[in-house]
């Protein structure tokens, strides 16, 4: 399992972070990792989880910025870049 630096994690897209998180979970569930490596993998997984949560929050805020006119049609739409 290849661990990334905090900066590399910050640059991951939601999809890439989620894919890596799923790999960490799978490795931990298999129970084959030595204790120290399992702890490092768990910490890495936590960082990936926070990245995913951050990207989801960003998307939520961008969606909430859609302002509707009196007719209920969007009058301002910001591009969503995940």
Per-residue confidence (pLDDT) for residue 74, from 0 to 100 = 65
Per-residue confidence (pLDDT) for residue 30, from 0 to 100 = 97
The crossing angle, in degrees rounded to 10, of helices 14-30 and 35-64 is: 150
CB 45 within 8 A of CB 28: yes
* Structural domain boundaries in the chain: 6-76
Per-residue confidence (pLDDT) for residue 29, from 0 to 100 = 97
State the pTM of this model.
0.78
**Mean pLDDT per 10-residue segment, the chain (82 residues):** 93 97 97 96 98 94 69 62 58
Per-residue confidence (pLDDT) for residue 43, from 0 to 100 = 98
Residue 48: strand, helix, or coil? helix
Which CATH number applies to 6-76: 1.10.287, 3.30.390, 3.30.420, 1.20.140?
A: 1.10.287
Is the four-CA dihedral 39, 41, 42, 48 of positive or negative sign?
A: positive
Residue 3: strand, helix, or coil? coil
């Amino acid at each position: 399992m290849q661990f990334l630096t905090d900066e590399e994690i910050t640059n991951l897209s939601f999809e890439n972070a989620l894919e890596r998180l799923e790999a960490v979970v799978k490795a931990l569930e298999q129970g084959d990792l030595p204790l120290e490596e399992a702890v490092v993998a768990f910490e890495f997984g936590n960082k990936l989880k926070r990245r995913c949560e951050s990207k989801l929050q960003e998307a939520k805020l961008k969606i909430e910025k859609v302002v509707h006119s009196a007719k209920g049609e969007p009058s301002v739409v910001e591009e969503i870049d995940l």
